[in-house]
Amino acid sequence: MYSGSSDGESHSTEDPTGFVDALGSKSSPVHRIRCWTRIRSLNGSKPEEGSISHRVQKLAKYRFLKKQSDLLLNADDLDSMWVCLRENCVIDDATGAEKMNYEDFCHIASVCTEQIGPKCRRFFSPSNFMKFEKDESGRIAILPFYLYVMRTVSLTQARIDMSELDEDSDGFLQPHEMEAYIRGLIPNLAQLRDMPAAFVQMYCRIAAHKFSFFCDPHRRGKACIKKVLLSNCLQELMELHQESEEEVTDTEQAENWFSLTSAQHMFLALDKDMNGTLSKQELKEYADGTLTEIFIERVFDEHVRRCKIGAGSNREMDFDSFLDFVLALENKDTPEGLTYLFRCLDLNGRGFLTTADIHSLFSNRAYLEKNGSEEGEHHRDEMLPDTTFLHKILDVHQKWIEGGNYELCIEDVRDEIWDMVKPTDPLRITLADLLACKQGGTVASMLIDVRGFWAHDNRENLLQEEEEPEEES
């Protein structure tokens, strides 16, 4: 099997698969596109729209990308390569797998070059052969190699398509350019072909937002094309092309951000007053109301812009902010998701959590007495620990008890969190500590969601339930 498989949960822009080596080699079309982009950036200011210089530049870019596209293997070429691989390989007696040694590899390269042309030659380099796992006889399986070729061709074509939409030719895609790329893919994605025309624009906006969340972490308003190509977002989107809708369960569709089922039910179900934004009260219904109210307050404090409404002021979450919110909760273990959540957990904006913060997150009264909320601001002067307003604020501890569970000792929870994280400074937990401990997502869930705390508290029973069907089978 190909030795560089990537972790499906990672959204890193590193290249664990080794595809960048292939895409970035001096003989590859992508390398030429990058060189063209760098040369373009050295030309100085952007030519005036409609000028002769601008029109010549667009024509040169079109011809250049067309030439690079012509150098790629097409579907017939890939079919021919697969036939050549199967006809010239050997069968492993022990496993029945189709394999080839280096001599076979060189012979297949010659046959493919004769049948397909020189454009396939670059895939049969010695360095490519060495990328794959070999058996004791020095042979590699032909299937991982063929999948590598298909993946490289697909990524290169995607790079060319994105470059065509890159109006500034700076190697970055703005949100509307990313939406245009996704719109062009829809007719070729089996699960999206029957999408209602009226929903296409909204779907493209939802889909493009995930690329922005992971590929534009600094919120500059544009995503690096290289990061887009290496992100798992693109792989997840392409999964809609590989399988027909009938072969995918409703659960699998819901887990894929880009599926039609996931996109259609994301926002409208919560927007009760149908005003296009979500109030705090409406957002509290997310995830069946299991999120703590202090977390909802902090989300609005940190991630929702204040807008003027009449003489007063109020905050309501717009659609883009809601997409960020959902992406963070669905990807708590990623650096991007955990960074979003840490800002909410960091009650005082100091860049670290203390034991007092843990107490506040489990017992909202201390935080709300100090800071208030939009409702609490009207009662700040008379606010006392036993006021009616404070009794309405639900935290993990209170929701846990109301669910019929045993009494929690907050000190025990605090100690358990510290044991899980093992912070560098024993008195405070930083974002770097949460990322390094590999359990940051679990810690965040324990502090913001009673369902997340329940899952952690019952992790051994849940693990046993998952193992039991395997034993029976």
Q: Do 73 and 140 belong together in one domain? A: yes
Tokens of 262: 């996931």
Strand partners, 172: 224
Q: Please check whether residue 255 lies inside any domain of the structure.
A: yes
Q: Do 191 and 276 belong together in one domain? A: no
Q: Do 148 and 199 belong together in one domain? A: no
Position 404 scores a pLDDT of 62
- Where do we find the tokens 């972790």? 7
Helix and strand totals (H; E) in the chain: 26, 9
Q: Do 344 and 236 belong together in one domain? A: no
Residue 354: which CATH number? 1.10.238.10
Whole-number Å distance between alpha carbons of 367 and 356? 10
Whole-number Å distance between alpha carbons of 446 and 166? 42
Domain hosting residue 310, numbered range: 272-366+409-463
CA dihedral 231, 235, 237, 242 (to 10 degrees): 170
Query: Helix or strand or coil: residue 278?
Result: strand
DSSP-assigned letters across all residues of 81-137: HHHHHHHT-EE-TTT--EEE-HHHHHHHHHHHHHHH-GGGGGGG-HHHHHTB---TT
Whole-number Å distance between alpha carbons of 81 and 281? 58
- Residue 372 has φ and ψ, to the nearest 5°, of 70, -175
Answer for the pair 204, 221: CB distance below 8 angstroms, yes or no.
no
- Residue 98 has φ and ψ, to the nearest 5°, of -85, 120
Answer for the pair 126, 140: CB distance below 8 angstroms, yes or no.
no
Q: Please check whether residue 297 lies inside any domain of the structure.
A: yes
Position 196 scores a pLDDT of 84
Position 115 scores a pLDDT of 93
Q: What would you report as the CA-atom Rg of the chain, rounded to the nearest whole angstrom?
A: 27
Tokens of 78: 């890939």
* Cα-to-chain-centroid distance, residue 461: 30
Q: Please check whether residue 9 lies inside any domain of the structure.
A: no
Position 252 scores a pLDDT of 57
- Residue 405 has φ and ψ, to the nearest 5°, of -90, 175
Whole-number Å distance between alpha carbons of 419 and 441? 15
Q: Please check whether residue 161 lies inside any domain of the structure.
A: no
Q: Do 314 and 442 belong together in one domain? A: yes
Q: Please check whether residue 59 lies inside any domain of the structure.
A: yes
Residue 192: which CATH number? 1.10.238.220
Q: Do 22 and 125 belong together in one domain? A: yes
Whole-number Å distance between alpha carbons of 138 and 115? 27
Position 224 scores a pLDDT of 93
Total number of domains constituting the chain: 3
Q: Please check whether residue 145 lies inside any domain of the structure.
A: yes
Q: Do 76 and 20 belong together in one domain? A: yes
- Which residue, 191, 181, 239, is CA-closest to 211? 181
Q: Do 325 and 199 belong together in one domain? A: no
Position 215 scores a pLDDT of 93
Whole-number Å distance between alpha carbons of 97 and 90? 8
Q: Do 292 and 429 belong together in one domain? A: yes
Strand partners, 312: 309
302-335 burial, b if ≥16 CB within 10 A, otherwise e? ebbeeeeeeeeeebbbebebbbbbbbbbebbbbb
Whole-number Å distance between alpha carbons of 361 and 414? 11
Q: Do 171 and 225 belong together in one domain? A: yes
CA dihedral 145, 151, 157, 162 (to 10 degrees): -150
Q: Do 426 and 314 belong together in one domain? A: yes
Q: Do 322 and 422 belong together in one domain? A: yes
The low-confidence residues of the chain, meaning pLDDT below 70, are 1-47, 242-254, 261-265, 306-313, 362-408, 460-473
Residue ending a domain, choose from 154, 180, 199: 154
Q: Please check whether residue 43 lies inside any domain of the structure.
A: no
Residue ending a domain, choose from 242, 269, 296: 269
Q: Please check whether residue 381 lies inside any domain of the structure.
A: no
Residue ending a domain, choose from 234, 251, 269: 269
